[in-house]
Structure 1
């Protein structure tokens, strides 16, 4: 599958800060990526596609483990 620019990559492409790769585009991955982008990080999210994510497996109950 060819690489695609994701939303996070586009939003943070002008940042000159450190780089971060996030594996997984589910709820936790995207929230983490957005927080890092807001803090000035250059972020790229890697996601395999639509499949069962943590929020679905846990019934939407994400919290401290």
Structure 2
């Protein structure tokens, strides 16, 4: 899963406003689970809690990550 996260982060970087914050938050979430389904669920919960424009950054990342499944 780590490789998928790194690949998704690499591919979305040009479209992300707060890349460093996104990377940090995604890595924090990933450190809590190795299961992709739970990782996606936790990301969706983070999106609900976040405010724009970071919310959009998370959505872009999630869309790219799930395209690899």
TM over 0.5: no
Considering fraction of residues, name the structure with more helix. 2
Q: TM-score by structure 2 length?
A: 0.31
Give 1 or 2 for the bigger CA radius of gyration. 1
Bigger relative CO (Cα 8 Å, ≥ 6 apart): 2
TM-score (ref. length: structure 1):
0.32
